[in-house]
Structure formats: C-alpha cells, structure tokens
Amino acid sequence: MDNVLGPDLISDLPQSIIEIILTKLPIRDAVRTSILSSKWRYRWATLTHLVFDDKCVTLSHDKALVENNVAKFITRLLFLHNGPIHKFMLSTSYLQSSPDMDQWLLFLSRKDIKELVLELGEGEWFRAPSCLFACRKLTRLELVRCELDLPPTFKGFMCLKYLNLQQVLIAPDAIECLISSCPLLESLTLSYFDSLALTIHAPNLKYLCLEGEFKDICLENTPHLVAISIAMYMTDDIAEHFEQSSSCNFDKFLGGVSCLERLIGHIYFTKYLSIGNSDLGKLPITYHRLKLIELYQVSFEDMKEILVVLRLIVNSPNLQELHISGSSNSIVAAEAPDLDFWESESLSDSGFTFGKLKIAKITDMSGVPHEMEFIKFILGKSPVLEIMSVAPGVYVTDGRLNMLIELVRFRRASAKAEIIFIQD
C-alpha cells in the first residue's frame, strides 16, 4: 500500500476507524494485513476485540492437527498482542480441554477483559481455572460445556451484566452464590441443567431464560424482570417431587415480578405453576406491563392448569397478544367435569374485559369442551380483538368441521374480530 502515485487514504485513517475495519474481518485476515506495508505491520496487534472460530486456520481431516494449529495460532497472536483486550470469543468444535486455555485465561485476566465467550467442542469438558474469577472487569460471560468451581476467595463479578451458562457443571449452591455475587446482573441464561432447585437473588435482573430439568425455581429478589422464557423438562424424580410439593409455585415464581412485559412458558411450565393453586384467587400484584404471554402444552384436562392461565391473563389488564398451545388427552378431556366453572361469578362478571388484547393464537387444539369454553371466554371478553387464530393439533382428524361450526357461533365482543381456522 506504499503508493508513489497518490496518498494512502486508508492507512492515514484514525486508528479507531482502522480498528473498526479490522474488527469486521475474520481474525485470520486481520492478522494478514501485516504484510500490506510497514504502516500495517502491527495495526492488528492493538485490536481490543478478538473473535476466534474454526476458520482461523486451514482445516483438514486430521482433527488433532487442526486442534494443534488453532491453539498455536491463538497463543502466538496473544503473545504478539499489545494493549488491552476487551472481548475474547472462542467458538470451536476442535478445541476441548486444552492446557493452553489456562494460560490464555491468565493472560486475559491481566488485560482488562470485559467480554469472555468460550464455546468448546464435544468431548472432554473444559475445567475453568481459578484465574477466570480474577477477571474483575467482566461485563459479559458465556460458557458452554465446562466445569466451574467457585474459589473460596471469590467475591463476585462486580461489573457483570450478562451471564450465559450452557451445559455447565456447577454445584447448586455455587450457582446461586455466583448469581447473587453479580449485583449489576441484567441478563441470565441457564440451559441444560439437571434436577436443579434454584433460588435467584438478582435485584437488577431484567431478562431470564431457563431451560432444563428444574425441581424448583424461586424468584426471591427480581423486581425489575421484564422478560422470562422458561422450558422445564420432566423426569420421574421431578414429577414425584411436584406431586409431593405443598407450596404455591405460582407465587414463588411470579409473585414478585410486577414489571414483567413478556412471558414465554414452554413444556410443563403451567404444570409447575399449578402446584399449590386451588382457585382463581386475587393475586398480590397486577401485571400492568405484561403485553405478551405465550404458554405451550397447556393441559385443558387439568383444571389447575386452566386456572393458572386464567390467573395470569385476568391479572394482565394491558395484555396485547396471547398464544396458548394445548396438549390435552382428547379422550380424558372430553369428559369435561366442572364445565359450570365458566359460568361462575368470578368469570361472568360483566365489568371485566381484556381491554388491549388484539391478537389471540390458540394452537394444537383438540376441540374438547374446556378448550372451546376458553376460546369462547376470550372472544366474549376482548372488545378490541382483531385476530383469533385457531389451529387443531396435527393428530386431530375427526371433528374439525364441528369445531369450526362451534367457533363461528361464539359471541364476539369485538365487531372487528376475525376468526382464522388453520387446517394445516
């Protein structure tokens, strides 16, 4: 790029602009710019964002060779690097428990690292060294497939705002300690955890995503939560634990999240919330900010689960979008005891309406009585409803026409409400 024909406009750009350009390149190409000219020889060496993946070296069918080359490339780059490193991301299917990892993390702990993402390949899990906890300025930590032990001297990540742990082996008391030791934590993701009973203390938490086999979840100090996504998987041990539980899971999990705006509950979530609930009742809080509710695999053969759904939506006056997915055993649910519940005083009160609800999606339906009564209830209490989308389950072949005929007969509080019956 030393050009006698004219000025080198790119090389004369401010260092901050050049760093942005280099950051947009794959790390391998960013390092290669060192051969362009003497001005560019060490420009890459001051990059504050380092992102490594399988493409940072030439790939081959020899996995051991690739693993060795990736380790050498990262080690050499860190050895030549000059200045702070704010972000270090490693996503590779080749590196597993490499001894070089300990040295890299020790090096990064002295470089004011702020964002650390480690996503390693299948095989032997990486055991995080204690120097990881010396990264005092971390604001983001993502770990996939590793073992984590909190050292006795750990005082917390005082700056951490984003924590994502997937397939991480860590003791239950240690994970609770880790969460509570991050006073600025705003986003928490825990995925693929087994038989975990979890109590969360996180006063600044806004976003929570949980996926795994959870025996119990208690949100004790999360007043600023705005979004929750949760998927609970059931084992025989957890099912037995559910049956023996006498506490009110609804109140433990949702009793203190008055700022909630989005709630997405996947498999077994409503089953979990239904433990300990016996009636519709008056909640201690109203979800004034809750605008979106998605609940999947709700069993309409279980009155407790129906009550959970109603408890949520009736206490969400500003709800705008509702998505309910059914999972009823059509034979059992067809017996439909307690149908007079839908005519009870608590539900038939003429003063109550869903004043903001515009979109309702009801999917995987069997057309059993309680499901149809639920749809009838939503249609009759939603004066501004625009779309009611209903989709039978793929296993439902008989009775679709009868379901559609019954739907169009229901009274609609909204003159604009359109019923869309999805056949696919």
Share of the chain above pLDDT 70, in %: 77
Question: Does position 36 have pLDDT exceeding 60, yes or no?
Answer: no
* Residue 127 and residue 150 in contact, taking contact as beta carbons nearer than 8 Å: no
Residues 6+ apart with CB under 8 A from 123: 96, 97
Please state, in angstroms and rounded to a whole number, the distance separating the CA atoms of residues 318 and 302: 27
pLDDT digits (tens, 9 = 90+) for 262-305: 999 998 899 899 887 655 556 678 999 999 999 999 998 888 89
pTM of the model: 0.86
pLDDT: which is higher, 79 or 59: 79
Strand (E) or helix (H) holding 65 = helix 63-80
What is the reported pLDDT for 343?
Answer: 75
* Residue 300 and residue 331 in contact, taking contact as beta carbons nearer than 8 Å: no
Please state, in angstroms and rounded to a whole number, the distance separating the CA atoms of residues 99 and 11: 38
The whole-number average pLDDT for the span 172-179 is 93
Strand (E) or helix (H) holding 1 = none
**Residue the block writes with tokens 């002295």:** 110
* Lowest-pLDDT range of 117-126, 147-156, 415-424: 117-126
Q: Residue 414 to residues 14, 42, 131, 302, 306: CA-CA distances in angstroms?
A: 60, 67, 61, 29, 24
**Residue the block writes with tokens 């060294």:** 129
From the number of C-beta atoms within 10 Å of its C-beta (0-12, 13-18, 19+), residue 97 rates as middle
The whole-number average pLDDT for the span 134-149 is 93
What is the reported pLDDT for 68?
Answer: 80
Question: Residue 188's pLDDT band (boundaries 50, 70, 90)?
Answer: very high
* Lowest-pLDDT range of 130-139, 256-265, 321-330, 408-417: 321-330
Residues 6+ apart with CB under 8 A from 9: none
How many other CB atoms sit within 10 Å of the CB of residue 322?
A: 25
Question: Residue 1's pLDDT band (boundaries 50, 70, 90)?
Answer: very low
Tell me the CB-side half-sphere exposure of residue 188, using CA atoms within 13 A.
Answer: 30
Please state, in angstroms and rounded to a whole number, the distance separating the CA atoms of residues 187 and 261: 15
Please state, in angstroms and rounded to a whole number, the distance separating the CA atoms of residues 211 and 192: 6
Please state, in angstroms and rounded to a whole number, the distance separating the CA atoms of residues 339 and 41: 78
Which of the listed ranges 29-43, 238-252, 298-312, 325-339 does the model predict with the highest average pLDDT? 298-312
Q: Is 81 left (phi over 0), alpha (psi -120 to 50) or beta?
A: beta
What does residue 280 show for φ and ψ, rounded to 5 degrees?
-65, -50
Q: Residue 135 to residues 48, 97, 155, 173: CA-CA distances in angstroms?
A: 15, 20, 11, 21
Q: Is 325 left (phi over 0), alpha (psi -120 to 50) or beta?
A: beta
